[in-house]
Amino acid sequence: MKFLDLFAGAGGLSEGFVMAGFSPAAHIEMDKAACYTLKTRAAYHWLKEQGRLDIYHDYLHGRIDRNSFYAKIPQDVLESVMNYQMSKDNLEEIFDKIDGRLGDNRINLIIGGPPCQAYSLAGRSRDANNMIGDERNYLYKIYAEFLRRYKPKYFLFENVLGLLSAKEPDGTRHFDAMCRTFKECGYSVETKIFLASDYGVLQSRRRLILIGKLGDDHGFYPLVQRHPTEQDGICVSEIFNDLPPLHANEGTPLPTKTRHYEGKYLYDAGIKEKDEEEVTLHYARYVNDHDKDIYRRVVEAWNRNQTRLKYTDLPKEMLTHKNTTSFLDRFNVVADNLSYAQTVVAHLSKDGHFFIHPDIKQNRSITPREAARLQTFPDNFHFETSTGKPAFGPIFRQIGNAVPVRLAYSLAKAINECFVHPDSYQRDFDIYHEKKVKGNKEEAQTELHF
């Protein structure tokens, strides 16, 4: 089944759908670095189908450059990635390119979510106008134009929870206006909130997932199977156990051999494959001596009595910021004895203070590969920059902005069932509602996440 990936980012959402058997017709993304990441991933999938992954490994090891690597891939594969900042001015051009790729095929599904800064609570708190009037608030209207054009049976729209409270200048909610727009396009709309750690992700991350179905319907939201990491007794240490230890400013973006791994989580989550023992981008950023001292204190406080050290808990001579209340939680350890870590965010592109490695001997922030694992990206997923040279900023930004792949995969499997077995899906949903009516709420919620 063909899908369109709008506002694609680095492809966390689409990777989950590819894993579930969907085929991307096109990815549309405005960030140049993310587009290179999408192209490299499209090349990986094509090479894997052809049994020619040796070419991919040659590229990762630096034996061929990016241009030479792309030259070995069919142009049709690479051209599935379209670098556009979508607006009304270029929609027809984008449509023409997509139509040329589709031929006689049709789009079954559209996925994606506009940049979340205009909806996020953090973004609004930093803006004097509370992001009111920001053009990014209205990108859902661009999304709606794709629904009008291609009329997929389903669409998935993801975003931050702040979308539920973001307001128009007249005080009405953007969310309500958005749902009205989608209904005008001919879709019924249902929404749920998902916690990533309920779906095999070792991270506390809440996401709003809106699903639309063509036609007038209700009670159609897919039954998404939960896999809570806490329930399985899995800890964040699984992310780090097989990776070579590093100090700050050590490591390499080139492939690094991993250590022996005896666990199951990395395999079950689709992060690690049995025959792959290398990872890229396991290299740590520089940390000055002052911050290293703070890192040690933060990890010591956690190891000693499981407490999060606040900025004001540091000795006065170490406080370099005048407005200390704004920096209370600036430094934080990724505690490896918990069932999930704090939310991975794009701010990692600026510094790693909120993501300190739990091993006090390593005394550093987490590497791009460790952050990618927290987002459940496969180890063979490589992140690019616009220049082709490794850089922490664009790579961490792509990772932090992504939808966790495992959450995307769970959603994709559920939506796939709606396509493949619509009748049995309806029976399952009727059973759910019957239990709910009888008051068996706890059992019902294990089947459908509300």
Over the stretch 130-181, which tens digit does the pLDDT of each residue have? 545 556 568 999 999 999 999 999 999 999 999 998 888 888 888 999 999 9
| Rounded average pLDDT over 408-428 | 81
| 306 and 370 within one domain | yes
| 245 and 225 within one domain | no
Tell me if 407 sits within 8 A of 374, measured CB to CB. Answer: no
Distance CA 147, CA 8 (A): 16
Sign of the dihedral through C-alpha 23, 277, 205, 368: negative
What percent of the chain clears pLDDT 90, i.e. is strictly above it? 76
Higher-scoring residue by pLDDT: 146, 440? 146
* 126 three-state secondary structure: helix
Tell me if 396 is assigned to some domain: no
pLDDT of residue 327: 63
- Read off the CATH number of the domain in which 165 is found: 3.40.50.150
Distance CA 92, CA 103 (A): 17
How would you classify residue 173: left for phi > 0, otherwise alpha for psi between -120 and 50, otherwise beta?
beta
Q: Is the pLDDT of residue 19 over 50?
A: yes
* 195 three-state secondary structure: strand
Tell me if 448 is assigned to some domain: no
**DSSP at 339:** S
- Read off the CATH number of the domain in which 374 is found: 3.90.120.10
Q: What is the pLDDT of residues 338-390, one digit of tens each?
A: 999 999 999 898 889 999 999 999 999 999 999 999 999 999 999 999 999 99
Tell me if 446 is assigned to some domain: no
| 179 and 117 within one domain | yes
CA dihedral 436, 438, 443, 444 (to 10 degrees): -20
Given 339, 354, 383, the domain boundary residue is: 383
Pick from 84-88, 115-119, 345-349: least confident: 115-119
Catalytic-labelled residue, pool 116, 185, 235, 418: 116
Domain count, the chain: 2
Closest CA to 227 of 262, 196, 272, 267: 196
| Rounded average pLDDT over 237-257 | 98
Q: Is the pLDDT of residue 403 over 60?
A: yes
Q: Which helix (H) or strand (E) holds 196?
A: none
pLDDT band at 322, cuts 50/70/90?
low
Tell me if 395 is assigned to some domain: no
| 379 and 276 within one domain | yes
Q: Is the pLDDT of residue 121 over 80?
A: no
Tell me if 287 is assigned to some domain: yes
User: In sequence order, what are the residues at sequence separation of 6 or more whose Cβ sits closer than 8 angstroms to the Cβ of residue 150?
Assistant: 4, 98, 106, 107, 110
Query: What residues does 6 pair with on adjacent strands?
Result: 28, 112
| 182 and 59 within one domain | yes
Tell me if 349 is assigned to some domain: yes
Q: Is 185 a catalytic residue?
A: no
For the chain, how far is it from start to end, CA to CA, in angstroms?
A: 27
Distance CA 209, CA 333 (A): 29
Query: What residues does 210 pair with on adjacent strands?
Result: 157, 191
| 370 and 222 within one domain | no
Tell me if 380 sits within 8 A of 245, measured CB to CB. Answer: no
Closest CA to 108 of 17, 30, 218: 17
| 413 and 341 within one domain | no
Closest CA to 142 of 210, 89, 80: 89
| 302 and 161 within one domain | no
User: In sequence order, what are the residues at sequence separation of 6 or more whose Cβ sits closer than 8 angstroms to the Cβ of residue 297?
Assistant: 309, 314
Which structural domain range is residue 224 located in?
A: 2-229+404-437
pLDDT of residue 172: 87
| 222 and 241 within one domain | no
User: In sequence order, what are the residues at sequence separation of 6 or more whose Cβ sits closer than 8 angstroms to the Cβ of residue 133?
Assistant: 169
Tell me if 394 is assigned to some domain: no
Closest CA to 379 of 266, 247, 248, 284: 266
Q: Is the pLDDT of residue 285 over 50?
A: yes
pLDDT band at 441, cuts 50/70/90?
very low
| 125 and 202 within one domain | yes
Pick from 45-59, 163-177, 248-262, 290-304: least confident: 163-177
Q: Which helix (H) or strand (E) holds 60?
A: helix 53-60
Higher-scoring residue by pLDDT: 274, 184? 184
| 222 and 260 within one domain | no
Secondary structure of 1-47 in HEC code, one letter for each residue: CEEEEECCCCCHHHHHHHHCCCEEEEEEECCHHHHHHHHHHHHHHHH
Q: Which helix (H) or strand (E) holds 392?
A: helix 392-401
Q: Is the pLDDT of residue 443 over 90?
A: no
Given 354, 383, 412, the domain boundary residue is: 383
Tell me if 390 is assigned to some domain: no
Strand-strand pairing, 206-214 and 187-195: antiparallel
Residue 356 — φ and ψ, nearest 5°? -80, 135
| 135 and 26 within one domain | yes
